[in-house]
Amino acid sequence: MSHMSRLTQGLHGEVAVPGDKSISHRALMIGGLAVGETAIHGLLEAGDVHRTAMAMSALGASVKRRDGGEYRVAGRGVGGLAEPSSVLDMGNSGTGVRLLLGLAAGHPFTSFFSGDASLSARPMQRVTAPLSRMGASFLGRSGGRLPLAVTGAPDPIPLVYELPVASAQVKSAVLLAGLNAPGATTVVEPRPTRDHTEIMLRKFGAEVVVEPLPEGGRAVTVTGQPELAASDITVPGDFSSAAFAIVASLIVPGSKLTLRRVGINPLRSGLLPTLREMGAEITVTTLNDGDGEALADLQVCASELRGTDVPPERAPAMIDEFPILAMAAACANGTTKLRGLGELRVKETDRLAAIARGLEACGVRVEQAGDDLTIRGKGRPPPGGAQIAVELDHRIAMAFLVLGMTTQEPVGIDDAAPIATSFPQFIEMMNGLGAKIERESAS
């Protein structure tokens, strides 16, 4: 299902991007551990979240969709999930599987996890190592890769775990497993990572303490065996999805877009200060707090961008936005340096290599050295004219479709299907704003 993106004359309009994927996963999981029925509004209806919903139902926390898009989760209480009768197929969802491994590790039964070809190549040892110390056992392929069997701890052991690499997924897996352990479970992170799990656990009634540490790290502690109470959750718009529309409106001349009710959690929205440093015209109108999450309307106008040096300590706050930031850098005037991107090598594909290959094919001068990427922009869009192999990576697919909106020659992608894992309406939404993305004929 290859698609082609062509030069557009400007993007205009007002949109609400789909619900936040990270928060949608957590609402389903933590709702499943609460007592009572949790109502979720604005849940992302995309492939990854659908997999988590099916898995939670298989674990005994029934998930039902009502008219109007409201979802209801029948919670089982902390420690109350049931052994699933079938394999939990997590598709392409790295967040879904890693967080659910944490949940499963805290329950005394055996469950089996599988995924698609991309997910099955991604490392799970970073999660299974701390969970094993809590009393769970795992059996999988080399490197701890899927398919994977987990037998949860009959008596989970509380843990103090120092993250070797800043990772919200690993942090969240340990905290979720710690819910069913007596006493305190603590994760020490070298740099702050997205804190959606901590915010939502507090909303449902858990005791979560966050202590800043010297040199910028944090210790996050959850008190185990809480009574979580069902709650109403409204999911904000996904900043990572909004990022594609933000950058598109910056690099397509004459564009002006308004994005409504976007989550701008500061540990998630590092792209905003980065784009501002590049000269982006973005107006942020803060809205009332959404369940502890920061919300805003964003107005974005086409801007002349300049290169910038992105500090590596900002990487955790924008790890999913580097593909689309690279497209902005390709159109900017001057050099942009992206540093410390080792985490991109273990995403849906080796995103660092995929960004570099794709940009070079579009006529951009790129230098890759270790975990660093240098992009040399010329103050105008690159020529384009390339066909990009997306390798089952939704963010690579959307990023290069955005670039094609401003290049003289079209930019194609070989497969648009992976976009459905996070943003099924992407092509329809962008075309509604003025983009020219079309399916290529078989010929």
Q: Catalytic residue, from 20, 48, 320, 393: name it.
A: 320
Question: In whole angstroms, what is the distance from residue 193 CA to residue 87 CA?
Answer: 30
Q: Please, what's the b/e burial string for 232-271 (b: 16 or more CB within 10 A of its CB; e: otherwise)?
A: ebbbbbbbbbbbbbbbbbbbbeebebbbbbbbbbebbbbb
Q: How far is CA 70 from CA 40, 45, 127, 200, 202, in A?
A: 6, 11, 31, 18, 22
Question: In whole angstroms, what is the distance from residue 93 CA to residue 40 CA?
Answer: 20
User: What one-character-per-residue DSSP string does 38-68 give?
Assistant: EEEES---SHHHHHHHHHHHHTT--EEE-GG
Coil vs helix vs strand at 184: strand
Question: In whole angstroms, what is the distance from residue 29 CA to residue 23 CA?
Answer: 10
CB 132 within 8 A of CB 170: no
Query: What one-letter code names the amino acid at 111?
Result: S
320 counts as catalytic: yes
Coil vs helix vs strand at 275: helix
| C-beta pairs of 56-63 under 8 Å, 24+ apart in sequence | 56/28, 56/29, 56/32, 58/84, 58/85, 58/86, 58/88, 59/32, 59/84, 59/88, 59/103, 59/104, 59/111, 60/32, 61/28, 61/31, 61/32, 61/33, 63/28, 63/32
Coil vs helix vs strand at 121: coil
Question: In whole angstroms, what is the distance from residue 381 CA to residue 77 CA?
Answer: 54
The residues carrying an active-site annotation are 320
